[in-house]
A and B are shown apart, each in its own frame.
Chain A
Amino acid sequence: MSLAPAPADVALAEAARPAAPPRRRPLIAILLFLTLAAMPLAVSLGVPAHWLTLVTRAMIFAIAALSLDLILGVGGLVSFGHAAFIGIGAYATGIMITEGRSEALLILPVILAACALFAAITGAVSLRTRGVAFIMITLAFGQMAYFLAQALSAYGGDDGLTLYERSTLAGFKPFANRTSFYYVTLATLAGCYALISTIVASRFGRALRAARENATRVTVTGYDVGRIRLVAYVISGMIAGLSGFLLANQTDFVSPAFISWQRSGELIFMVVLGGVGSLHGAIIGALAYLFAEDVLSGWTEHWRVIFGPLIVLFVLFTRGGLVGIIGKLASRFGSRRDD
């Protein structure tokens, strides 16, 4: 029984279909990870050192964007509250470090459990709706988490919480050094990428993707679409929680601003910027976004005045994101093996 997408909205599906022509796309992903792995070397050869911090931060957001791509790109569920999971991860880290429990092997299970719980509850409610209502409800739940963080007066409330030490990992201190922090983040990103790619390629992932195209058909085929979506939502939330852990350690600070709805909007933009549903597109999108932010905010404190219209123009005039553009360029150069 094939679970091929219905031909309904072919243009959209083409732009968004993950890993469709099997050869070229992993090549981009491999190149991407090789480049990232070579980054510290490039820094020792003279690339500005703050790039290492910037790329670490970009990779942290890439983990969150990647997890969002699982539900938004593959599952077709536009969640506008994804920053809540980053916030849960960051706050769990901040609170436990403040309470003297800075071992990552203690913190991470707490984060995963808390994110899974929050995702299961909010997902069970919001997945009862479709389309625009889902967008609005996830936005509202994200905002709920934001106000909850503001009300945590014991842990900084509105002002946020400064962390005076970083986590340890099995007794070692990989987060104390910039280069080792970089590699831990890269390894986490690669692990999450491998995990989500495996999920997408599995029977579960194909059912999730097929449900985006035609939920009724998938239901008739014998899958419980609601449960598949909920499981994907929970997995996605747990992975985003990991990025919150890394973010809190990198910035030595946690604040409600981590959960603001603008942050959720930025995550969506990273996914769309890279190319919806392609997974490595989310990573490219996060890198591009943080570099653009870095450059523009270096020019003017009012960088959003430039960035906002850029988003509008991007939406109006491009399809398929950066990955689509790269693909088009690649096929122009290598037309011999093209479809």
Chain B
Amino acid sequence: MTTSLLIVQILNGLQFGILLFLVAAGLTLVFGVMDFINLAHGVQYMLGAYLAVTFVGLTGNFLLGLALALAAALLIGLALEFLVFRHLYERDHLDQVLATFGLILLLNQGVKIIWGAAPLSVPVPEFLTGSVRLMDGILYPVYRFALIGSGLAVGGLLWFIVEKTRTGMLLRAGASNASMVSALGVDIRKLFMVVFAFGTMLAGFAGAMAAPILSVEPGMGDTVLILAFVVIVVGGIGSIRGAFVGALIVGLVDTLGRSFMNDLLRLFMSAPSARATGAALSSMLIYLVMAIVLFVRPEGLLPAKGRS
């Protein structure tokens, strides 16, 4: 276990955490304001990636393709809101879970029909290729830095909107008491649409940004969705700050666990049994972290204010 490897893996963990944050932020926002649990959030991330594949391929320009993919993701999201989600806000969580589960089945299979089951990829844009030299012998790809940077920028923007603007004030008010906000004359349906559009864009953006470094395949959203759940539970449901902290914890623990668990176990185990135990343990690690956090603080690390 060398220092350079450690630094690279910490950066990888950060980058993974930022990606998870983008997905989890939308999920927790929608849940916090609308009390709506949207399992289809993961497939919206997947759609973002697939749309990026198509539009970057069509235009040959990464930024233009990204913008078109985001617009298309938003349109699909709003269509889903209009057709399905809108009718579920008043229902109990069981109905929401089931209906959005149905959408997952539809969209995962639909993607297979349209784009095929084989993994696709997006080429890394030319102006972001190459690597940065951090120290002697440590190179790190520019694109991954760009991903960390843009993720942080979006996170900062989100913080600004939620904390400093009128819309954000309504969001926070809606999260504490939606019916009161409605009684004060705010069009709550419009507010819900805005929140939902935010969430969809965040998930689509995460998917599109992940497309050049991950393989784009059906079901890629499911893994991310479940990790986003872990993030939200660790951070505190409905809390964006919590989602940020939770995402970094999950991203780092998962990445570092996968790369160093073997070496750690090798200290007191034979190589083959360390490999077997390490594989099992490192894939379970984040769930163990979640269990510990819940055991100590059932409401999460940074629970949203004003929710009971």
Contacts and interface: CB of A to CB of B under 8 A. Distances in A.
Given A261-B226, A308-B105, A302 B113 contact: yes
- B interface majority secondary structure: helix
A253 B156 CA distance: 50
A4 interface: no
B240 interface: no
A242 B102 CA distance: 27
A311 B222 CA distance: 18
A132 B222 contact: no
Contacts of A269: 98, 101
B283 A312 contact: no
B295 interface: yes
Nearest to A134: B93
B66 to A, nearest CB: 28
B125 interface: no
Interface stretch (B1-9, B190-198, B202-210, B286-294): B286-294
A140 B101 contact: no
Contacts of B226: 139-140, 143, 261
B152 interface: no
Contact of A302 (B92, B94, B112): B112
Contacts, number: 127
Contact of A136 (B91, B94, B99, B232): B232
B283 A151 contact: yes
B31 interface: yes
A12 interface: yes
B229 A316 contact: no
Contacts of B295: 125, 128
Contacts of A311: 98-99, 101-102, 105
Contacts of A12: 92
Interface in B87-113: 87-88, 91-95, 97-99, 101-110, 112-113
Nearest to B279: A151
Interface residues of A, number: 46
A132 B102 contact: no
A268 B112 CA distance: 25
A272 B94 CA distance: 9
B109 A305 contact: yes
A105 interface: no
Nearest to B294: A125
B37 A132 contact: yes
Nearest to A125: B291
B105 A153 contact: no
Contact of A147 (B95, B283, B294): B283
B84 interface: yes
B237 interface: yes
Given A78-B97, A80-B97, A125-B295, A261 B222 contact: yes
A309 interface: yes
A137 B233 contact: yes
A152 B280 contact: yes
A276 interface: yes
Given A276-B94, A302-B109, A312 B284 contact: no
Interface in A286-339: 302, 304-305, 307-312, 314-316
Contacts of A139: 226, 229
A143 B287 contact: yes
Given A143-B287, A316-B87, A308 B94 contact: no
A251 interface: no
B220 interface: no
A322 to B, nearest CB: 14
Most chain-A Cβ atoms within 10 A of its Cβ — which of B112, B287, B290? Answer: B287
A35 interface: no
Interface of A: 12, 72, 78, 80, 122, 125-126, 128-129, 131-133, 135-137, 139-141, 143-144, 147-148, 150-154, 261-262, 265, 268-269, 272, 276, 302, 304-305, 307-312, 314-316
Given A78-B93, A153-B279, A308-B104, 17 more contacts: A78-B97, A122-B291, A129-B233, A133-B237, A137-B294, A140-B229, A140-B230, A141-B291, A151-B283, A261-B226, A262-B105, A262-B222, A265-B104, A304-B105, A305-B106, A305-B110, A315-B98
Which 7 pairs from chain A and chain B are nearest by CB? A311-B102, A308-B106, A308-B105, A151-B280, A147-B283, A144-B287, A136-B229
